[in-house]
Amino acid sequence: MHYKGSCHCGRIAFSVDGELDGALACNCSICQRKGSLLWFVPREAMQLQTPDEDAATYTFNKHVIRHRFCPVCGIHPFGEGADPQGRQIAAINIRCLDDVDLAAVPVNTFDGRSV
């Protein structure tokens, strides 16, 4: 499937290809505050439709995940990092995708506080 998404104001827009068969709700200090529902895809499956420099970046703790957000509206549409095998991944906040029935997406929980 092909999805389009953005922050609230549209300054950060992207598309992503893949099968949205589930999402993850993390309780780490940042995800819990953001309320993100994350879908992990290979980074090459996500294409920014707006300039990369339009998105601000926040890192914390081990500074390995780049939490990307809009400096205008404050929405966090995705994050970037690497999986345990070193492959580049994107963590898509499915709440920022157009035309997705969130109630139909199975959500697993992850205890990020323990990491």
- What is the mean pLDDT of the segment spanning 30-44? 95
Cut 0.75: pTM above it? yes
Output the six-digit token pair for 66: 């780049």
CATH code of the domain in which 7 resides: 2.170.150.70
The domain in which residue 93 lies consists of 2-108
The rounded distance, in Å, linking the Cα atoms of 16 and 52 is: 15
Distances in Å between the Cα of 6 and the Cα atoms of 12, 50, 83, 111 are 5, 10, 24, 27
Q: What are the tens digits of pLDDT across the range 71-99? A: 999 999 999 999 989 999 999 999 999 99
Per the structure, the count of domains in the chain is 1
What integer pLDDT is reported at residue 69 of this predicted model? Answer: 97
Is residue 51 in some structural domain? yes
What integer pLDDT is reported at residue 95 of this predicted model? Answer: 97
